[in-house]
Amino acid sequence: MMNATHSLAQDVILRPAALTDAESCAAALTRSRAYMSPWEPIRHESFYTPRGQAERLAGLLAERDARHAMPWVLADGEDRVIGALTLTGIVLGPFRSAALGYWVDVDRAGRGLATAAVRAVCDAARDELGLHRIEAGTMLDNTASQQVLAKCGFEQFGTAPRYLHINGQWRDHRLFQRILHDGPPQL
């Protein structure tokens, strides 16, 4: 499922995640931990270790194999992870929908990589999975992420009170969706 690699910038690619990314994911998440903490759940220390990332990736890859998720990583020219995007909760049939989550390494934030990667994931979700829509949520004050979604054709469709437990509290979120096509579902 969706094994293509997409070039996003001169030295950055979007490719399917692999179990071998665990150490690099742990390093990027550790490096970006303080930067991302306002928008992330409080995590156990083991989450930031290669073993913790191997366990997380193994779960995502099992979900991918069951056609319920699709994890990608952003990798630099040396194949180090500098971000990730994941479609979760993939539902086929007449719904053909998924939820999108993403992050970019603190050292690469603000350079348009999230926007390019979200566009590539939307194209792959439409063209390779045949999804009809993708949804995403942001905390009310996460304007940077809201701008990424807007640039990628997402529209706000609601607000969810106390939607996710983020940084120690239940937080309200703005909900966005992008309709990818209006054709009939693939059988």
Each residue of 13-23: pLDDT tens digit?
Answer: 999 999 999 99
3 within 8 A of 56, measured Cβ to Cβ = no
Q: Residue 2: its pLDDT value, please?
A: 55
Q: Residue 6: its pLDDT value, please?
A: 72
The DSSP element (H or E) to which 162 belongs, if any, is strand 155-166
What are 48's two structure tokens?
A: 């930031």
d(CA 11, CA 25): 18
pTM recorded for the entire structure? 0.93
What are 179's two structure tokens?
A: 């309709």
Q: Residue 143: its pLDDT value, please?
A: 96
> What backbone phi and psi angles, to 5 degrees, belong to 148?
-60, -50
What are 143's two structure tokens?
A: 């304007």
What are the b/e assignments for 113-142, b being 16+ CB within 10 Å?
Answer: bbbbbbbbbbebbbeebbbbbbbbbbbeeb
Q: Residue 1: its pLDDT value, please?
A: 45
Pick out the chain residues at pLDDT < 50.
Answer: 1
Q: Residue 3: its pLDDT value, please?
A: 64
